[in-house]
Amino acid sequence: MASFSARAKAETARKAPKHPCCEKAKIFGMLLFSGKLSTDAVTYATETRESTDLLTSFLGENLHIVPKEETIAGNRGKAERILLTVRDPDAIGRLFDYFGIGNGDLGCDVFSLSAEDAVCRSLLCEDCERSFIAGAFLSCGFVYPPDKKYQAEFVMRDKELWHILEGLLCRRELPPKKVTRRDKRVLYLQGVEKVSDLLGMIGATSCYFDVLNAQALKETAEATVRTTNFEVANMRKTTDAAFEQIRAIESLRQSGRFDALSPVLRQTAKNRLENPDSTLSALAEMENPPVSKSQISKRLQRIVDFEKEQSKT
């Protein structure tokens, strides 16, 4: 069964952008944040077939490039990955020309400071930004299942791409937090609202609703727990009070001071002894004539107070 993150990527890959420029921006995002983008080779690795199908189809239809495909076995329990590779210099040259990448945009297999200009040239409309972020997510994104925690991440090595993606997310009112893990740089979003907004923006609609539904279920469960805890606390309080009342009545009987109670209190005490598990409302109904719950509570408290005073003498 596919992981939640893999499902989100599959949905994102299947979501068709509104305009041709947006589709180009999505693919550019995938390539920029892929494993390698250099004059020597272009590689893209993912665990979702939908992502590789999208990239293969786009490269074939628009640039007549057929990447080499191979499967990489997963280790330490991870899913196997699909690797696409382009090494032909002519094909890489056509790809660079198509996306407006110049030799000055590259340095040591990663983008240099001029990468920002290349990205800006590729974002021709507002929807292009969303598509570009979706492409970045397909390459280096991960989202935790909502039953574990509400968090999405973008993990990359290049510092400039780190800043570029941070700026784009801020423009979409999704300011991320930043952290460095060894040689990798991470942008991450936390909380139901931010994670669901990201999933909705990149086109992972069903995962978007999964996050919202998980939060609704969590809130319902928490409300149920609070209600149950309140009821249990009340039951414990009622049980403790009944135990104290019965103890006081038995003490008065054993000390021979029970008859010192008024006739009304003796009847209340008798009802309590004979009905140790009854609620105050039920005991109130046993009185002749019946009294209110408040009145029966006061009578029982008077019995307890009387026993305490007698035990001091």
Percent of the chain exceeding pLDDT 70 equals 92
113: pLDDT strictly greater than 60: no
Burial class (CB in 10 A: 0-12, 13-18, 19+), 16: exposed
Tokens coding 64? 């007549």
Taking the model in full, what pTM does it have?
0.70
Question: Which value, to the nearest 10 degrees, does the dihedral of the CA atoms of residues 195, 201, 207, 211 take?
Answer: 30
Residue 107's pLDDT is 46
In this predicted model, what pLDDT tens digit does every residue of 294-313 receive, in sequence order? 999 899 899 988 888 887 76
Distances (CA, A) of 312 to 75, 132, 152, 304, 305: 76, 82, 67, 13, 11
| More confident of the two residues 305 and 221 | 305
Domains delineated in the chain: 4-203 (3.10.28.10), 232-312 (no CATH)
Q: Is the alpha carbon torsion for 291, 267, 265, 297 positive or negative?
A: negative
Question: What pLDDT is attached to residue 77?
Answer: 60
Q: Judge whether residue 115 has pLDDT over 70.
A: no
Nearest to 120 by CA among 168, 152, 77, 156: 168
Average pLDDT of the segment spanning 133-137: 95
Question: Which of 269-283 are b and which e, b meaning 16 or more Cβ less than 10 Å from the residue's Cβ?
Answer: bebbeeeeeeebeeb
- Whether 146 and 215 have beta carbons less than 8 Å apart is answered as yes
The one-letter code for the residue type at 156 is M
Average pLDDT value for residue range 39-52: 90
Peptide bond into 89 cis (omega under 30): no
pLDDT band at 106 (very low <50, low <70, confident <90, very high): low
Buried b (16+ CB within 10 A) or exposed e, 57-77: ebbeeebebebeeeeeeeeee
Please, what is the average pLDDT of the chain? 86
Rounded Cα distance between 293 and 284, Å, is: 6
pLDDT score of 217: 78
In this predicted model, what pLDDT tens digit does every residue of 257-266 receive, in sequence order?
A: 888 889 898 8
How far is 67 from 31, CA to CA, in rounded Å? 13
- The residue with greater pLDDT, 153 or 118, is 153
The pLDDT value recorded for residue 87 is: 93
Helix ranges restricted to H, 99-204: 115-122, 126-140, 159-171, 192-202
Q: What is the mean pLDDT of residues 186-203?
A: 94
Tell me the average pLDDT across 272-278: 86
pLDDT digits (tens, 9 = 90+) for 152-179: 999 988 888 888 899 999 988 999 999 9
Give tens-digit pLDDT for 204-217. Answer: 999 988 998 888 77
Mean pLDDT, residues 103-111: 50
pLDDT digits (tens, 9 = 90+) for 224-239: 777 777 777 777 887 8
